Amino acid sequence: MTKTIQTCLLYCLIQWAFSAFAIAGPVPDKGQFRDCHHVEITNPASTRFFIGQNAGNPLTSASYTKLNLGGNPLPDFATKWVMVKDNVTGLIWEVKHNMDGISHYDDPNDADNTYTWYDSNPDTNGGYAGTPGNGMNTEAFIKAMNHAHFGGYSDWRLPTIKELAYLADTRRKNPSINTKYFPDTVSSWYWSSSTSANYSRDAWGVGFLYGYDSYNHKYIYGYVRAVRGGQPGTETVNRMGGGHSHLLP
């Protein structure tokens, strides 16, 4: 029993630590209705663990708008769109396409492209630039997006771990994202821009099989999704002594 309580307390501490990295503005509902043992919880009393989670404090429901290549809103029933606006956070996300198991690096929007984590800017790379990956890296991806002025914009960037985690919907799996707005999402690892605060050779990301965040070596090849808007900052995130966790909103 004591070990169980200690484990749950550690889980809560991890969640609290991550909550300090929220972006400005409203926070979307993440569907966090289970405790550290994956047991569903109801509205907890103020004296119990997990107070403040979705079960006791429902958040703003997720809401998205499809956008065309000119950045104009489309009706919800549109069958072709290239960007999505998160109506809760105000962020605009790139939409992937052509998921056929074959990478096409001449098309940065191809869903099958994978990249190593790389950021040559010492002010934002957390102390370690990462792995160039023969040009197949996250910095090259962002440069390609901005060089093409995708959607008419040239301020695309890699999302922070908090922003990326907001896309995960834990009520879904394989992939754990709303595919009505984000089709061709691979149920695998997606990079964020956030370096581990404790180990600069690691960076954070989200696995969209179940929607859990974790950290990985920067030489690993992962998927990417560009974002624009918000406040990018130079975020680094603590590993809290290791282990994987699930971000609360």
Cα 51 to the center of its chain, rounded Å: 24
> Is 50 exceeded by the pLDDT of residue 125?
yes
Strand 92-94 versus strand 227-228 pairing type: antiparallel
Is 11 a residue whose pLDDT tops 50? no
C-alpha radius of gyration, the chain, whole number: 18
Does 104 have pLDDT greater than 50? yes
pLDDT confidence of residue 52: 41
Whose tokens are 């997606």? That residue is 190
For 132, the token pair is 């160039």
Average pLDDT over residues 208-234: 90
pLDDT at 190: 98
Average pLDDT (158-163) is: 96
Instruction: Indicate if the pLDDT at residue 137 is higher than 70.
Output: yes
Q: How far is CA 229 from the centre of its chain?
A: 14
Mean pLDDT for the chain?
Answer: 81
- Model confidence, pTM: 0.76
Q: Is 5 exposed, middle or buried (0-12, 13-18, 19+ CB in 10 A)?
A: exposed
